[in-house]
């Protein structure tokens, strides 16, 4: 739990003339409370952040545990008391409008509209924007996640052998991470041969044959924070076609570390333009994305975003070349901007590796 985070929300609410914020995203609830027990797919809790309080409603399954672990200024109530409790707070604080998050469903909106007699309005990305700037504890967790990701790569490269399947290799990565105190940040993408031409290939039973591309996109999670890294290696002696693709992506990514301006637009544009200038197809995805409690979060590192990146904001730089029927190369690191330059968080080597 972090009173500071609640204050930041309250400051933005005042700026945007919103009296209270209905928080429904389980990641945002975790960010505010520090409690990580709610299931991401179910609505186990809602928080209303008002000018003075943060009021959490949950069901009987969680009530006792949450009550124990969540402290002032967060007040915990049973969801069955929502209407009555909320009415009192709204009246007491003279609340006339409540902002809600982008993840709120239409039917939840209708339900709350009936339940609460004040105006509801969409209030996008309030907590998501606060989350982009990490404090020292968050950066420490991310460092840990990135170090573990590096160690896992080092370990798994030794496991690559003829006949191993993508899923088996993914499992070696997961076992290593789990047995070294981490979790998986997201389902690993392991792609052999032509599969590597599909940016989000679903890891499957494909067996490794000699003379194949091996693309590994994975990340450890530590203390809730997700690393994200991709390396592409060659199983066998790499042909010239692969070497040229690899070198182009590597240089493109390297250039991405030194944009003219530290804006998402420039960070995206430099590797993208370089790859196109070498005669390759445009990258079919953004060059990066923020990372944190979610593996994909703000900021978007994509064209058209001109606001400078904030200091202490971690994100990925991940250009790629994908050639249907042949394969793909992607090189991705988790990095962070310290206000002056971009620093690597994942540190695995990027020279061309032939196994």
- Residues of this chain that bind a copy of itself (CB under 8 A): 36-37, 39-42, 60-62, 64-65, 100, 102-110, 122, 124, 171, 174-175, 178-179, 186-187, 197-202, 284-285, 294, 296, 324
Q: Rg of the chain over CA atoms, in angstroms?
A: 23
In the bound state with a copy of itself, the residue whose beta carbon lies nearer, of 238 and 329, is 329
| Of residues 102 and 273, the one with the C-beta less far from a copy of itself | 102
User: Which residues on neighbouring strands pair with residue 323, listed in sequence order?
Assistant: 327
Nearest to a copy of itself of 110, 261 (CB atom): 110
Reported for 170-174, long-range contacts at CB under 8 A and 24+ positions apart, including other chains, are 170/203, 170/218, 173/216, 173/218
When the beta carbons of 118 and 251 are compared against a copy of itself, the nearer one is 118
Q: How far is the CB of 169 from a copy of itself (least distance, A)?
A: 13
Strand partners, 213: 234
Least CB distance to a copy of itself at residue 187 (A): 8
Question: How far apart (Å, rounded) are the C-alpha atoms in residues 298 and 125?
Answer: 9
CA distance 321 to 158: 25
How many angstroms from the chain centroid is the CA of residue 23? Answer: 19
Q: How far is the C-alpha of 78 from the C-alpha of 253, rounded, in Å? A: 50
**For a copy of itself, the closer CB: 122 or 261:** 122
In Å, what is the CA distance from 57 to each residue of 1, 61, 96? 16, 12, 20
For residue 3, the surrounding DSSP H or E stretch is helix 3-15
Asked whether 313 and 194 are in contact (CB, 8 A), the reply is no
| Shortest reach from residue 77's CB to a copy of itself, in Å | 16
* Minimum distance from residue 284 beta carbon to a copy of itself (Å): 4
Shortest Å distance, C-beta 107 to a copy of itself: 5
Rounded CA gap, 302 and 271, in Å? Answer: 11
- Is 179 or 307 the residue whose CB approaches a copy of itself more closely? 179
Report, in Å, the least distance between residue 42 CB and a copy of itself.
7
């Amino acid at each position: 739990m972090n009173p500071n985070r609640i204050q930041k929300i309250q400051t933005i609410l005042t700026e945007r003339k919103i009296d209270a914020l209905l928080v429904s995203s389980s990641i945002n609830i975790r960010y505010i409370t520090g409690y990580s027990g709610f299931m991401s797919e179910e609505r186990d809790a809602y928080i209303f952040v008002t000018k003075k309080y943060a009021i959490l409603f949950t069901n009987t399954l969680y009530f006792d545990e949450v009550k124990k672990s969540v402290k002032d200024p967060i007040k915990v109530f049973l969801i069955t008391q929502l209407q009555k409790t909320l009415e009192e707070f709204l009246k007491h604080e003279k609340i006339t409008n409540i902002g809600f998050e982008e993840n709120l469903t239409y039917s939840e909106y209708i339900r709350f509209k009936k339940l609460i007699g004040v105006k509801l309005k969409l209030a996008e990305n309030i907590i998501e924007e606060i989350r982009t700037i990490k404090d020292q504890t968050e950066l420490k967790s991310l460092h840990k996640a990135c170090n573990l990701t590096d160690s896992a790569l080092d370990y798994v490269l030794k496991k690559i052998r003829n006949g191993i399947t993508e899923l088996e290799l993914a499992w070696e990565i997961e076992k290593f991470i789990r047995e070294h105190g981490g979790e998986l940040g997201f389902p690993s993408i392991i792609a052999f041969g032509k599969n590597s031409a599909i940016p989000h290939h679903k890891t499957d039973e494909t067996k490794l044959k000699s003379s194949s591309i091996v693309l590994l996109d994975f990340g450890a999670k530590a203390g809730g924070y997700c690393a994200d890294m991709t390396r592409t290696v060659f199983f066998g002696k790499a042909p010239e076609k692969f070497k040229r693709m690899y070198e182009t992506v590597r240089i493109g990514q390297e250039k991405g570390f030194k944009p003219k301006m530290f804006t998402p637009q420039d960070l995206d544009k430099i590797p993208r333009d370089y790859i196109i200038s070498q005669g390759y197809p445009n990258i079919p995805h953004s060059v990066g994305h923020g990372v944190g409690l979610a593996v994909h979060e703000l900021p978007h590192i994509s064209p058209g975003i001109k606001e400078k990146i904030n200091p202490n904001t971690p994100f990925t730089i991940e250009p790629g070349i994908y050639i249907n029927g042949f394969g793909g190369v992607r090189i991705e690191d988790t990095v962070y901007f310290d206000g002056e330059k971009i620093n690597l968080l994942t540190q695995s080597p990027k020279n061309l590796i032939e196994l």
